[in-house]
Amino acid sequence: MPTYALRVALTFGVGAKKGVNTWHIRTGTPIAPGTHPMVTAIKNFYTSAFSEIAPSDMKADYDGTLTEVGVASPSLVGGVTTWNATGAQPAATYGPAGVGMCVSWRSALANRQGRGRTFLNPLADNNFAADGTLVDTHLGPVRIAATALVTASLAGGDSSIGVWSTTAPRGTPALQPWEGNFYPLVSAKINDQVAWLSSRRS
């Protein structure tokens, strides 16, 4: 079953002014050009989330390409339907650069290898409450969007969105540089607190 990396380019008006979120999709058969339900599920997540968290000059763009992972000679798939999502909050009203919202994705594997994160940053300043937490009226819809993505993945039949781990489980042989393990998503969680991007390396 092929596994693909899908990269979403983020552009915004403060700090580094650009970023990337990487997703992974596994399918029963190779993905062909055109639309695909898992790509659409990711698009729907950004469309819903950005309407709540992002100023109107912040964008998420997918260029229609997928890169195969887990094989020594990966293929590049082009011609998948492109999409973009644009923020709906007032333009240029960013909160602090470097902090944002973190979606924690969980698989059935209850350890670090079975968990992933999507960091959404920066946020419109109306997402921050006076006590440093996230405003419920914006956080709630993003939680719903994350749950909808998991639901779409679980209903995808031979296709799913998941966590791609390049760390071998304890007691198993080390992986080759191109190898990894795919764990389908089963739930999502967003804490009511500001998050910042940090390395998972110890």
**Rounded CA separation 114/116 (Å):** 7
Four-point Cα dihedral 38, 150, 100, 122, nearest 10: 20
Percent above pLDDT 90 for the chain:
82
**Segment (H or E) for 139:** helix 136-154
What are the pLDDT digits (tens) for 120-171? 999 999 999 998 899 999 999 999 999 999 999 999 999 999 999 998 877 7
Q: 202 in a domain, yes or no?
A: no
Four-point Cα dihedral 146, 162, 100, 138, nearest 10: 0
What are the pLDDT digits (tens) for 59-106? 999 999 999 999 999 999 999 999 999 999 999 999 988 899 999 999
With contact defined as beta carbons under 8 Å apart, do 184 and 160 qualify?
yes
Q: 170 in a domain, yes or no?
A: yes
Name which residue leads in pLDDT, 177 or 24.
Answer: 24
Residue 49 has pLDDT above 70, yes or no: yes
Domain count, the chain: 1
* Residue range of the domain that includes 76: 3-196
Residue 3 has pLDDT above 90, yes or no: yes
